Structure 1
Amino acid sequence: MIKAYQKDEELFQDILKTKNNHSGLRVWWLGQSGFLVQWNGIHVLFDPYLSDSLTKKYENTEKPHVRMSEKAIDPEKLDFIDVVTSSHYHTDHLDAETLKPILRQKKDIKFIIPEANRSFVSERVDCAPNFALGMTDGTEISFSEEVKITALASAHNELEKDEFGNNKFLGFILNIGPYTLYHSGDTLWYEGLEEKVKAFAPDVLFLPINGNRPERMVAGNMSAEEAAKFGKVVNSGIVIPHHFHMFEFNTEDPDSFAKYAQVHHTKYQILKIGQSFKLD
């Protein structure tokens, strides 16, 4: 089991100590594709997976989800979240055991989902059908003058849509204060994605690195090399990789990503679970 950089109460206190800082932005990696963003007392949580639900679900099957890393924090403690996202309907991005405790903690929490997944989401997390805020490619939601989310289509593996033309897989551009971040969700590098992202000039890009291998029997993502190349093509911010060190059958060595990032002269930062990254 890979040890967290910090977890539980230590991680909680690390988050709280800068909760009301008026300068700089902090990001914590919570494992898999989960990132907590903190700026000026505002907290945005991308795609958290903070349980063992998949390990339990797939135990004694042909596709066991053996956990590699320690859990970062009990979702019950995350009672200060303002916005939480689910980029698509796969359980490591839409986990009832994680989201239910978070969603009931704060009455005015905003829950961002693909509009195409509304019925599925409502059933899984037991929320009212109109509770979540649905998005599709190109739509925007502003929460204040300082916080806005724009949805970009993701391909996992296809640019799949429902019968109304709403994308089932999304990534998100977060404008928060003076900073811009791109969270890819799960995606391949499809034609035109780099131009969409480049137009926003993100300061940080959260990109998957576990690759696309059919023998794993799950939808794929960018590889370590593709994520490094993508960051270089966008060429505006630092790449923080995700989607590794959660399940043994579907991971990548982050050192491989680091090697490719160095080859392509891509700015990057690899985080351990519970570790933070700061932008001044």
Structure 2
Amino acid sequence: MTQQSESTTPRLRPTAPSEHPTALRPLGETRSWPRTFADRLTAPLPGVKAFARFAREGAVRPDREGLEDIPQLPFEPGPLPHVTASGIAVTWVGHASWVLRIGGLTVLTDPVWSRKILGIPARITPAGVAWAALPPVDAVVISHNHYDHLDAPTLKRLPRQTPVFVPAGLGRWFRRRRFTCVTELDWWEAAELGGVRFDFVPAHHWSKRTLTDTCRSLWGGWVLTDDADRKVYFAGDTGYGHWFAEIGGRHPGIDLAMLPIGAYDPRWWLSDVHCDPEEAVRAVADLGAARLAPMHWATFLLSAEPVLEPLTRVRKAWADAGRDRGDLWDLPVGASRVLVGA
């Protein structure tokens, strides 16, 4: 295992609050939401012409040459690092799933331990942490309801009293499965658990899980802040755009940004909803973040780029931007890093 200590133009931009909110929402609050969040889209969803073009020239998987690097994908599972209540540690399980220890809590992000999810081939790297090796899970954060981020078989393994933090409109899905502490938040809202603040922030994406629920729930990322004001930003799934600068402005001093770098080809089809590696590096600058931990690659084959290309491109973009190599936490699946010091 690797464990180290660190030394398309938006079309429909919604109006956001002008100041960082100070009031915290109660945990487990039951709320009413709009029937649709389609007004939060920052680009139109693909129409008939886009689908026709994709049918003519699109590709949903890498070609044979692009698949040849699968045996070389970085996979270094190991025991979770020791971290005190004042420390922060991240372990990449794969895709958008992380074990995040912050403020004495163990938090899972978009947990997907399943080998296979609906509609795509089986994962090409195993989960980097065995489920039995997890400490007690104190909370779960969900970015949106797509199957590669909201996995029912994995969530079924959790005790039903586990606190879950979800986008507006997604709480009913969890309550139907008998979760008892479900906190739904709108963009720029926050709640607190065990001294850690959970802020829900915007993303350039969308939501859909069935044929009839397009944009019925919201999508976004999470900024987690401990009592020493150290911040970890989990972006979920997002394209590049104006939200990154606003998130950085409202949450200055982000210590670590966990950003997607894969599932970007063909660009004309996916640029509105998935960052490419160069955009992820630009997003770090927009956020004012100190470090980048890339994710959303090396796990599921969602698009046409070669499987190792996101890693090589993000490393080059980071170097081209003049950033310190030690601040690029390009972890193998299963590896961890510990953020030391306040």
TM range (shorter): 0.7 to 0.9
The answer to whether the aligner puts 1:39 opposite 2:110 as a matched pair is no
TM-score by length of 2: 0.66
Q: 2:74 & 2:262 partners in 1: Cα distance?
A: 20
Asked if the contact 2:263–2:302 (Cα under 8 Å) also holds between the matched residues in 1, the reply is: no
CA change 1:253–1:212 in 2 (3 A) is closer
Deviation string 1:98-123 (CA, Å, 9 cap, x unpaired) is 1111234xx4x210111222233444
Alpha-carbon offset, residue 3 of structure 1: 5.9
Give the match's secondary structure for 2:158. helix
Deviation string 1:138-174 (CA, Å, 9 cap, x unpaired) is 1110114x3101110112159xxxx9x9961110010
Aligned residue runs from structure 1 range 120-159, under 5 A: 120-123=173-176, 126-128=177-179, 131-144=181-194, 146-156=195-205
Alpha-carbon offset, residue 203 of structure 1: 0.2
The answer to whether the aligner puts 1:98 opposite 2:154 as a matched pair is yes
| Amino acid corresponding to residue 140 of structure 2 in structure 1 | V
Which residue number corresponds to residue 189 of structure 1? 240
Deviation string 1:190-231 (CA, Å, 9 cap, x unpaired) is 224322224312100000011544589878311100001111
Q: 2:191 & 2:85 partners in 1: Cα distance?
A: 23
Q: 2:295 aligns with which of 232, 235, 242?
A: 242
Alpha-carbon offset, residue 65 of structure 1: 2.1
CA change 1:100–1:149 in 2 (3 A) is same
Give the match's secondary structure for 2:157. helix
Q: 1:32 & 1:221 partners in 2: Cα distance?
A: 13
Give the match's secondary structure for 2:75. coil
Q: 2:189 & 2:103 partners in 1: Cα distance?
A: 25
Deviation string 1:162-190 (CA, Å, 9 cap, x unpaired) is x9x99611100100232201111101122
Query: Whose relative contact order is higher, 1 or 2, with alpha carbons under 8 Å and at least 6 apart?
Result: 2
CA change 1:205–1:80 in 2 (3 A) is same
Q: 1:182 & 1:127 partners in 2: Cα distance?
A: 28
The answer to whether the aligner puts 1:70 opposite 2:103 as a matched pair is no
**Aligned CA-pair RMSD:** 2.8
Which residue number corresponds to residue 224 of structure 2? 174
Q: 1:30 & 1:193 partners in 2: Cα distance?
A: 24
Give the match's secondary structure for 2:150. coil
Size of the alignment, in residue pairs?
253
The answer to whether the aligner puts 1:49 opposite 2:112 as a matched pair is yes
Q: 1:3 & 1:194 partners in 2: Cα distance?
A: 31
Query: Which consecutive unaligned segments of at least 5 residues does structure 1 have?
Result: 59-63
Q: 2:277 aligns with which of 198, 201, 224?
A: 224
Asked if the contact 1:157–1:188 (Cα under 8 Å) also holds between the matched residues in 2, the reply is: no
Q: 1:147 & 1:86 partners in 2: Cα distance?
A: 16
Which residue number corresponds to residue 4 of structure 1? 75
The answer to whether the aligner puts 1:274 opposite 2:334 as a matched pair is yes
Asked if the contact 1:35–1:45 (Cα under 8 Å) also holds between the matched residues in 2, the reply is: yes
Query: Which consecutive unaligned segments of at least 5 residues does structure 2 have?
Result: 1-70, 208-212
Which residue number corresponds to residue 61 of structure 1? none
Larger radius of gyration: 2
TM-score by length of 1: 0.80
Alpha-carbon offset, residue 279 of structure 1: 0.9
Percent of matched pairs sharing the same residue: 21
Bigger drift between 77-86 and 183-192 goes to: 77-86
Alpha-carbon offset, residue 70 of structure 1: 1.8
Q: 1:39 & 1:228 partners in 2: Cα distance?
A: 24
The answer to whether the aligner puts 1:264 opposite 2:314 as a matched pair is no
Asked if the contact 1:79–1:102 (Cα under 8 Å) also holds between the matched residues in 2, the reply is: no
Give the match's secondary structure for 1:53. coil
Runs of 4+ aligned residues of structure 1 deviating over 4 Å after TM superposition are 214-219
